[in-house]
Amino acid sequence: MFIRYMADTSDTDASLKALEYLHSLLRIAPVRVVSMTAPAMGKIWVHYASLLITPMMGEFANVVCCSPARWSFEQAVPMPARNGTVPIAKHTVELYTRGVRNVLIATKHPQSQDQITAAAKYEAMVVDSEELRMGWEMNGRPGALVIPIPVMDHDAVRAAVLG
């Protein structure tokens, strides 16, 4: 079993939190990182660059720790036609993956109903503070597990990821 970790890998505060949770995830199973930011790797993530290029085969758990705007977004792609028109193909992209265990690590309060709806799909949710847990609960997403940073309760992370 692998952990596919869709994480903010920039040099932001959110990225620092994602990196802290990565340290705990590495104690559970092999991790493959999918960068959800550009540039793909900030300076603090350089040591983990090999986790971006390692193939992943077989069963996996999907863990997401990035900007709430990335959890679900509309992708628009111009599709030039031979007749010269350029229709736009639109599709909603979600980081939630059907058929596997999905865990959301939220580092911010929800900013929109779309983010609350996207978060509701995940089987487990982790936050780093009681204040953040209460914010999500007040917005209709109860049951978030508080695992503070620095992560000391690796068993709680294991339970959240493996179910």
pLDDT of 124-163, one tens digit each?
999 999 999 999 999 888 889 999 999 999 999 999 999 9
Looking at 3.40.50, 3.30.1370, 1.20.120, 3.90.320, the CATH number of the domain 2-162 comes to 3.40.50
Quote the pLDDT of residue 110.
84
Reference 36, options 70, 76, 75; nearest CA is 70
Helices and strands in the chain: count of H runs, count of E runs: 6, 8
The whole-number average pLDDT for the span 75-87 is 92
Angstrom distances, CA of residue 39 to CA of 9, 11, 12, 62, 141 = 8, 10, 12, 22, 31
Quote the pLDDT of residue 39.
63
Asked if residue 16 has pLDDT above 90, the reply is yes
Domain ranges for the chain, please list them. 2-162
Quote the pLDDT of residue 62.
97
Question: 7-11, 50-54, 64-68, 99-103: lowest mean pLDDT where?
Answer: 50-54
Helix (H) or strand (E) holding 120: helix 113-120
Band of pLDDT at residue 40, cut at 50, 70 and 90: low
Query: How much is the pTM?
Result: 0.89
Quote the pLDDT of residue 150.
94
The whole-number average pLDDT for the span 86-95 is 91
State the chain's maximal CA–CA distance in angstroms: 60
The whole-number average pLDDT for the span 17-40 is 90
Count the Cβ atoms, other than its own, within 10 Å of residue 155.
Answer: 11
